[in-house]
């Protein structure tokens, strides 16, 4: 059985602000400054939309699955609610994204995951918000960190889920 993904929700051509696993998992960073900045990004953008590659979504899951079942049970209700409440367009790479990733000289030397993520961002004329230090040290790429923030809060129900999810903490956000 083959599945035509062209008409599935979230597979439309997306542009704008892109996020990666480091930003998403940064909301659970053991470094509170990183955690607050990442959380602040999502609180401020809750009514807006962002784009995330399916690979980056999978990278979040791959990280969370390394934690205990109890930590996962505390984490996933928040993640599920945020993915439902916020317009996060989860999309796969297309041929243009792949060509850009492989043919753009500025991306040479990056690990393949970073190349693919930035290939998607570049081919769609977007910007990547990240806490990935390998990317933030580069001034020739369309990347930026989330702005520093004090402790912001999600709407009440989502904030309760977030607070519970903090039993799972990750080193530096990734």
Measuring CA to CA, which residue among 160, 164, 133 is closest to residue 71? 164
SS3 category, 37 = helix
pTM above 0.95, yes or no: no
Domains of the chain: total: 1
Residue 142 lies in a domain: yes
CATH of residue 58: 3.40.50.1010
Residue 173 lies in a domain: no
Quick one: average pLDDT of 154-161? 98
In tens, the pLDDT along 45-76 reads 999 999 999 999 999 999 999 999 999 999 99
Quick one: average pLDDT of 97-121? 97
**Structural domain harbouring 80:** 9-165
Indicate the average pLDDT of the chain.
Answer: 91
Which residues are within 8 A (CB) of 45 and not within 5 positions of it... i.e. 6 or more apart? 17, 86
Report the pLDDT value the prediction gives residue 14, as an integer from 0 to 100. Answer: 59
- Give dist(CA 19, CA 12) in Å, integer: 17
Q: Which residues on adjacent β-strands are paired with residue 87?
A: 49
Strands 87-91 and 127-129 come out as unpaired
Residue in the structure block whose two tokens are 């393949």: 112
The region of weakest confidence among 3-12, 95-104, 105-114 is 3-12
Beta sheet of 143-144, edge-to-edge order: 87-91, 49-53, 17-19, 127-129, 143-144
Containing 112, the helix (H) or strand (E) segment is helix 112-123
Residue 171 lies in a domain: no
Evaluate if residue 85 carries a pLDDT over 80.
yes
């Amino acid at each position: 059985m083959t599945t035509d993904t062209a008409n599935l929700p979230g597979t439309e051509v997306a542009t704008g602000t892109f996020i990666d696993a480091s930003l998403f998992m940064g909301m659970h960073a053991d470094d509170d400054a990183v955690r607050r900045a990442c959380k602040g990004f999502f609180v401020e953008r809750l009514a807006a939309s962002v784009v995330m590659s399916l690979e980056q979504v999978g990278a979040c899951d791959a990280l969370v699955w390394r934690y205990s079942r109890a930590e996962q049970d505390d984490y996933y209700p928040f993640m599920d609610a945020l993915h439902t409440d916020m317009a996060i367009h989860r999309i796969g790479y297309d041929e243009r994204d792949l060509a850009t990733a492989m043919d753009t000289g500025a991306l040479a030397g990056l690990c393949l995951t970073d190349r693919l993520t930035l290939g998607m961002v570049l081919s769609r004329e977007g910007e990547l918000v990240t806490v990935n230090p390998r990317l933030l040290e580069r001034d020739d790429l369309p990347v930026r960190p989330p702005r520093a923030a004090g402790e912001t809060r999600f709407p009440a129900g989502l904030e309760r889920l977030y607070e519970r999810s903090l039993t799972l903490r990750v080193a530096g956000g990734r």
